Structure 1
Amino acid sequence: MTNSAPNLVGITVNHRSMVGDARRFAQVTRDIADGRVPATPARAKAVHRYLSTLCDGIHHHHRAEDDVLWPILNATAGAEVDLAELTDDHAQLDPLLERIRAQAAALAAAPADRAAAARLADSLATLRDLLAEHIEDEERTVFPVIRRYVSGAQWQQVETAVRKGGKLGFELPRIERYATPAELEELYRLAGPVLRLMLAAVRPGFLRRERLIFG
């Protein structure tokens, strides 16, 4: 596979999952803040755990781009791609992710504090909007360059860096949630039978957490 052209299905679904989760959690925390959803201690703790892992995953993803993908693009495409704005977006993300971690912890410590939920909802809405704009720009400007200039072997380096340190029990069920049926079949084809087996193992715990957070 390393001699083939880059397959961007995995990163596309990963991008969609980040925006989708930011959108879902901005809404559920707004519902908690407005009293439409009860802020039980169990729900608040589950929100905190999920968002902490999500923030870790987003940070890891953009660091893999900074450290692995961007150097490959600079080496192969040169003046064909300008990564300055995308790099600036990554720099904006880090303090926002730290704020979300802290605000989620504050909500877990005081589930009845609707003002804490409102602050978290505001930060998640900012994350949602920043990610949506950033990812749209990246896929519009960088994906064509990847397809034109990056080899299959180089793309495998990027995907290995993205997977390294990822939490499979968190990432795999989100792939299943956000992939289209055709994308999911393509991922099954690429990964082989092990993906179905791993999903079957981690799906029940993920769905329990989903029900606790979203009802």
Structure 2
Amino acid sequence: MSTPTTHPVQLDLPGQTHVADGPHDQAGMYVMHHAFRRDLARFEAAVRQTPLGDRATWKALAGRWAAFTEVLHHHHRVEDESIWPLVLGHARERGDAESVETLEAMEAEHDTIDPALAACTEGFASMVDHPCADHRNALDVRITDLRAGLLDHLRHEETGALPLIQVLLSAEEFDSCEKAAGKAYPLRRIPFILPWAMAGLPEEVVTRFLGGAAPQLKHMLRLLRPRFERGEAQAFRHA
């Protein structure tokens, strides 16, 4: 008599559109998606509510935006280089046209997000150099469009692509993807990324996410959180 396979309990975070059940724990992906959704909502509110004359806050927002875009670029790069090609290869071997179409769409959607990010970067720079209602209105349109596009992409990824990881990747292949993701971010950004990824999550989720981490990482989070939160309070003080 065979023993039933027990899958890990997947995270189901606010804003998440689907939980992909299966043998691989995709907590890392869901935590990143939660952070992207959280940030875009805050940026949208900050752009609309920050007074034009508050130059210090606009400068803080521009710096915070730069950190957000850098993390998102690295996240998409590891997907395009280390995850989707591997899953796509298996889908093609199976002759699964629908899955191939879904996976090819992931990279195509990344290509539409990049220019939208660049447009917002220009918009924040304009608000630092010459804050005015016209520049704010233009940035508002850009950030709103970007948020809508990225939310659609995350929904598509969660409902279409992440379930394919559960079906098509072996344990060894999934582990290689996780290692590639762990190496994707510059070391200089770790003091930002660690508290950034954990921000807004229930403490039980933080504890679970860091459960297998070295004690030094948990200690680092405790040390980094106050500085990160001070930066958040400055950038999003009006949001």
TM-score (norm 1): 0.87
Decide whether the 8 Å contact of 2:124 with 2:139 is kept in 1: yes
Q: Distance in 2 between matches of 1:122 and 1:89?
A: 19
Q: What is the alpha-carbon distance in structure 2 between the residues aligned to residue 12 and residue 187 of structure 1?
A: 11
After TM superposition, the score normalised by the length of structure 2 is 0.79
Matched, 1:115 2:134: yes
Query: How many residues get paired?
Result: 207
Label 1:186 to 1:132 Cα distance change in 2 as closer, same or farther (>3 A): same
Matches within 5 A, 1:83-102: 83-102=103-122
Aligned to 2:185, what secondary structure does the other structure show?
A: coil
Q: Matched residues in 2 for 1:87 and 1:109: separation?
A: 34
CA distance, structure 2, for counterparts of residue 39 and residue 8 of structure 1 = 43
* CA-CA distance at 1:38 after TM superposition: 5.6
From 181, 185, 197, the counterpart of 2:219: 197
More divergent stretch after superposition (101-110 vs 90-99): 101-110
Match of 1:25 among 34, 43, 51: 43
Q: Cα distance, 1:28 vs. partner?
A: 0.8
Deviates more, 1:119-128 or 1:155-164: 155-164
Q: Deviations over 1:32-89 (max 9, x none)?
A: 3xxxx46422111110111011112112111211111111102333344231222221
Which shifted more, 169-178 or 44-53? 169-178
Larger relative contact order (Cα-Cα within 8 Å, sequence gap ≥ 6)? 1
8 Å Cα contact 2:57-2:235 kept in structure 1: yes
Does 8-17 or 188-197 show the bigger shift?
188-197
- Measured after TM superposition, the shift of residue 114 of structure 1 is 2.7
What RMSD over aligned residues (CA atoms) do the two structures have, in Å? Answer: 2.0
Give the Cα separation in 2 of the matches to 1:24 and 1:120: 14
Q: CA deviation at 1:214?
A: 2.1
Is the aligned partner of 1:44 residue 2:82? Answer: no
Identical residues among aligned pairs (%): 25
Alignment check: 8 A CA contact 2:76 2:110 kept: yes
Change (3 A) 1:197 1:130: same
Shift of 1:168: 1.4
Task: Note if 1:55 corresponds to 2:69.
Answer: yes
Contact kept? 2:52, 2:132, Cα under 8 Å: no
Q: Greater shift after overlay, 89-98 or 115-124?
A: 115-124
Alignment of 1:1-215 (within 5 A): 5-32=23-50, 37=51, 39-78=53-92, 79-80=95-96, 81-82=99-100, 83-110=103-130, 112-163=131-182, 164-166=184-186, 167-215=189-237
Q: Distance in 2 between matches of 1:126 and 1:54?
A: 16
Decide which structure has greater helix share: 1
Query: Which residue pairs with 2:13 in the alignment?
Result: none
Distance 2:171 2:219 in 1: 26
Task: Choose 1 or 2 for highest CA Rg.
Answer: 2
